[in-house]
Amino acid sequence: MTKQNNIATQVVSVANDLLLDMPDGIVGWAFPGIHRVTHEQVTETDLQKDMMWLECEEGQTLGEYFDILIQTNRIRRCLNVNEGRILIKNNALSSPFFAHKQVLLWRSVGYDRAGNSFVPIIQNIQGQQPIIYLHRLESYLSRRHATYTFHGYV
Protein backbone atom coordinates (compact mmCIF):
# COMPACT_ATOMS: atom_id res chain seq x y z
CA MET A 1 0.00 0.00 0.00
CA THR A 2 1.44 3.40 -0.97
CA LYS A 3 0.97 6.52 1.09
CA GLN A 4 -0.97 9.17 -0.85
CA ASN A 5 -0.02 12.83 -0.60
CA ASN A 6 -3.02 14.60 0.91
CA ILE A 7 -3.02 18.02 -0.72
CA ALA A 8 -5.51 19.38 1.81
CA THR A 9 -2.99 19.02 4.62
CA GLN A 10 0.13 19.99 2.73
CA VAL A 11 2.26 22.63 4.44
CA VAL A 12 3.45 25.39 2.11
CA SER A 13 7.05 26.39 2.71
CA VAL A 14 7.86 29.80 4.14
CA ALA A 15 10.75 30.65 1.84
CA ASN A 16 13.00 33.65 2.37
CA ASP A 17 12.95 34.60 -1.30
CA LEU A 18 9.13 34.86 -1.34
CA LEU A 19 8.95 33.35 -4.81
CA LEU A 20 5.99 31.02 -4.71
CA ASP A 21 6.25 27.80 -6.61
CA MET A 22 3.05 25.87 -7.01
CA PRO A 23 2.62 23.53 -4.05
CA ASP A 24 2.59 19.85 -5.00
CA GLY A 25 -0.71 18.97 -6.59
CA ILE A 26 -1.74 22.55 -7.39
CA VAL A 27 -1.85 23.10 -11.16
CA GLY A 28 -3.13 26.67 -11.36
CA TRP A 29 -4.27 29.79 -9.55
CA ALA A 30 -7.88 31.00 -9.61
CA PHE A 31 -6.71 34.60 -10.26
CA PRO A 32 -3.09 34.50 -11.47
CA GLY A 33 -3.03 38.26 -12.17
CA ILE A 34 -3.93 39.38 -8.67
CA HIS A 35 -2.05 36.48 -7.05
CA ARG A 36 1.25 37.86 -8.41
CA VAL A 37 0.82 41.40 -7.01
CA THR A 38 2.60 41.45 -3.65
CA HIS A 39 3.09 44.23 -1.14
CA GLU A 40 6.74 44.10 -0.09
CA GLN A 41 5.92 45.30 3.42
CA VAL A 42 2.85 44.15 5.28
CA THR A 43 2.08 45.32 8.81
CA GLU A 44 -0.93 45.29 11.07
CA THR A 45 -1.51 49.00 10.34
CA ASP A 46 -1.95 48.22 6.61
CA LEU A 47 -4.81 45.82 7.31
CA GLN A 48 -8.35 45.74 8.61
CA LYS A 49 -10.52 42.80 9.55
CA ASP A 50 -13.09 42.01 6.89
CA MET A 51 -16.56 41.67 8.37
CA MET A 52 -17.14 38.23 6.86
CA TRP A 53 -19.43 37.13 9.69
CA LEU A 54 -21.97 39.85 8.86
CA GLU A 55 -22.46 38.29 5.43
CA CYS A 56 -22.27 34.60 6.22
CA GLU A 57 -24.84 32.25 7.57
CA GLU A 58 -24.10 29.28 9.77
CA GLY A 59 -23.15 26.31 7.63
CA GLN A 60 -21.66 28.30 4.75
CA THR A 61 -18.48 27.04 3.16
CA LEU A 62 -15.21 28.78 2.44
CA GLY A 63 -16.14 28.54 -1.25
CA GLU A 64 -19.40 30.42 -0.69
CA TYR A 65 -17.52 33.21 1.08
CA PHE A 66 -14.93 33.20 -1.73
CA ASP A 67 -17.81 33.85 -4.15
CA ILE A 68 -18.90 36.84 -2.01
CA LEU A 69 -15.36 38.26 -2.14
CA ILE A 70 -15.36 37.91 -5.93
CA GLN A 71 -18.83 39.43 -6.41
CA THR A 72 -18.01 42.44 -4.19
CA ASN A 73 -14.51 42.80 -5.73
CA ARG A 74 -12.98 42.67 -2.23
CA ILE A 75 -10.80 39.78 -3.44
CA ARG A 76 -8.32 42.40 -4.70
CA ARG A 77 -7.86 43.75 -1.15
CA CYS A 78 -7.19 40.35 0.43
CA LEU A 79 -3.80 38.86 1.26
CA ASN A 80 -1.89 36.41 -0.92
CA VAL A 81 0.48 33.66 0.18
CA ASN A 82 3.60 35.80 -0.28
CA GLU A 83 2.14 38.49 1.99
CA GLY A 84 1.33 35.74 4.49
CA ARG A 85 4.98 34.71 4.37
CA ILE A 86 6.02 38.33 5.03
CA LEU A 87 3.76 38.43 8.10
CA ILE A 88 5.34 35.19 9.39
CA LYS A 89 8.89 36.27 8.58
CA ASN A 90 8.44 39.63 10.36
CA ASN A 91 6.82 37.94 13.38
CA ALA A 92 3.76 40.17 12.88
CA LEU A 93 1.34 37.38 13.80
CA SER A 94 2.30 37.64 17.48
CA SER A 95 0.15 40.78 17.65
CA PRO A 96 -3.26 40.50 19.42
CA PHE A 97 -4.77 41.65 16.09
CA PHE A 98 -4.08 38.14 14.73
CA ALA A 99 -4.45 36.16 17.98
CA HIS A 100 -5.96 32.69 17.66
CA LYS A 101 -6.95 33.22 14.02
CA GLN A 102 -6.51 31.19 10.88
CA VAL A 103 -5.60 33.86 8.34
CA LEU A 104 -7.07 33.16 4.90
CA LEU A 105 -4.88 34.11 1.92
CA TRP A 106 -7.69 34.50 -0.62
CA ARG A 107 -5.69 35.96 -3.53
CA SER A 108 -3.80 32.65 -3.73
CA VAL A 109 -6.68 30.21 -4.18
CA GLY A 110 -5.44 27.35 -6.35
CA TYR A 111 -6.90 24.22 -7.89
CA ASP A 112 -5.76 20.67 -8.57
CA ARG A 113 -6.16 18.44 -11.64
CA ALA A 114 -9.53 17.17 -10.39
CA GLY A 115 -10.90 20.73 -10.15
CA ASN A 116 -10.84 20.92 -6.34
CA SER A 117 -10.08 24.41 -5.05
CA PHE A 118 -7.87 25.21 -2.06
CA VAL A 119 -7.14 28.38 -0.09
CA PRO A 120 -3.84 28.80 1.75
CA ILE A 121 -4.39 29.45 5.46
CA ILE A 122 -1.91 30.57 8.11
CA GLN A 123 -2.42 28.41 11.18
CA ASN A 124 -1.62 30.81 14.03
CA ILE A 125 -1.55 29.04 17.40
CA GLN A 126 -0.11 30.93 20.33
CA GLY A 127 3.31 29.62 21.32
CA GLN A 128 3.86 27.78 18.02
CA GLN A 129 5.54 28.79 14.78
CA PRO A 130 2.81 29.81 12.29
CA ILE A 131 2.52 27.56 9.24
CA ILE A 132 0.73 27.93 5.93
CA TYR A 133 -1.33 24.99 4.73
CA LEU A 134 -3.98 24.38 2.06
CA HIS A 135 -7.65 24.05 2.96
CA ARG A 136 -10.44 22.88 0.62
CA LEU A 137 -13.06 25.46 -0.28
CA GLU A 138 -15.75 22.85 0.42
CA SER A 139 -14.89 23.09 4.13
CA TYR A 140 -17.22 24.97 6.43
CA LEU A 141 -16.40 28.41 7.78
CA SER A 142 -15.20 28.54 11.36
CA ARG A 143 -15.11 31.42 13.85
CA ARG A 144 -11.32 30.98 13.81
CA HIS A 145 -11.16 31.84 10.11
CA ALA A 146 -10.25 35.47 9.54
CA THR A 147 -10.06 37.54 6.39
CA TYR A 148 -7.85 40.62 6.54
CA THR A 149 -7.93 43.22 3.78
CA PHE A 150 -5.74 46.15 2.86
CA HIS A 151 -7.22 49.58 3.58
CA GLY A 152 -8.55 51.16 0.38
CA TYR A 153 -6.56 48.89 -1.98
CA VAL A 154 -8.48 47.78 -5.06
Q: What is the pLDDT along the chain (154 residues), one digit of tens a residue?
A: 333 455 544 555 554 444 455 666 788 888 887 777 777 777 667 776 665 555 566 678 889 989 988 998 888 888 888 888 888 888 888 877 777 778 889 989 999 889 899 999 888 777 778 888 888 999 887 777 777 777 665 4
Sign of CA pseudo-dihedral 6, 7, 10, 15: positive
* Number of alpha carbons in the 13 Å side-chain half-sphere of residue 17: 3
Residue closest to 124 by CA, chosen among 98, 106, 150, 149: 98
Angstrom distance (rounded) from CA 48 to CA 28: 28
Phi/psi class of residue 65: alpha, beta or left (left: φ > 0; alpha: ψ in -120 to 50)?
alpha
